[in-house]
Amino acid sequence: MADYPFTGGSPMDPPPRLAELRASEPVSRVMLASGPAWLLTRHADIREAIAEPALAGFVPGIVEGSDDEREQAAQAGFLMMMDGPAHQRLRRPLAGAMSARRIADLRPRIESRARELVDGLAVAGGGEVVRALAAPLAIDAIGALIGVDVTARPDFAQWSDDSAAMFGGSDPQAMAESGATLFAFIGELVVGERDSDGLVGDLFRLVPDDGLALTDAEVTGLVGQLLMAGYLPTAMVTGLGVHRVLRDPELVASLRADPDSLPGLVDELLRLDPGAAGTVDRLVRARGEVELGGHTFADGDVLVLPLGAANRDPDVFADPDRIDPSRRPNPHVSFFPGPHHCVGAALARTVLGAMLGALVEHPAVALGGEPTWITGLLGETQMAALPIHVGAPAAAR
Residues 77-111 have pLDDT tens digits of: 566 666 777 777 777 777 777 778 888 999 999 99
Tell me the domain boundaries of the chain: 2-390
DSSP state of 393: P
Q: What is the pLDDT of residue 397?
A: 47
Closest C-alpha among 269, 236, 271 to residue 384: 236
**Cα gap 144→347, rounded to integer Å:** 11
Q: Which of 32-41, 53-62, 150-159 has the lowest mean pLDDT?
A: 150-159
Query: CB-based contacts of 157: which residues, under 8 Å, 6+ apart?
Result: none
pTM beyond cutoff 0.85 = yes
- Highest mean pLDDT: which range of 157-161, 207-211, 246-250, 376-380: 246-250
**Cα gap 194→201, rounded to integer Å:** 5
User: What value does the mean pLDDT take over residues 133-145?
Assistant: 88
Does an H or E element contain 303, and which? strand 302-306
Q: What is the pLDDT of residue 79?
A: 65
What DSSP line would sit under 328-391, residue for residue? SS----TT--STT--TTHHHHHHHHHHHHHHHHTSSSEEE-SPPEEEE-TTS-EEEEE-EEEE-
- Highest mean pLDDT: which range of 40-49, 131-140, 149-158: 40-49
**Residue 326 above 50 pLDDT?**
yes
Amino acid at 140: D
**Cα gap 346→298, rounded to integer Å:** 36
Residues 183-233 have pLDDT tens digits of: 787 888 888 888 888 788 888 888 777 777 888 888 888 888 777 767 878
The domain made up of 2-390 is a member of CATH 1.10.630.10: yes
Mean pLDDT of the chain: 85
Q: What is the pLDDT of residue 210?
A: 75
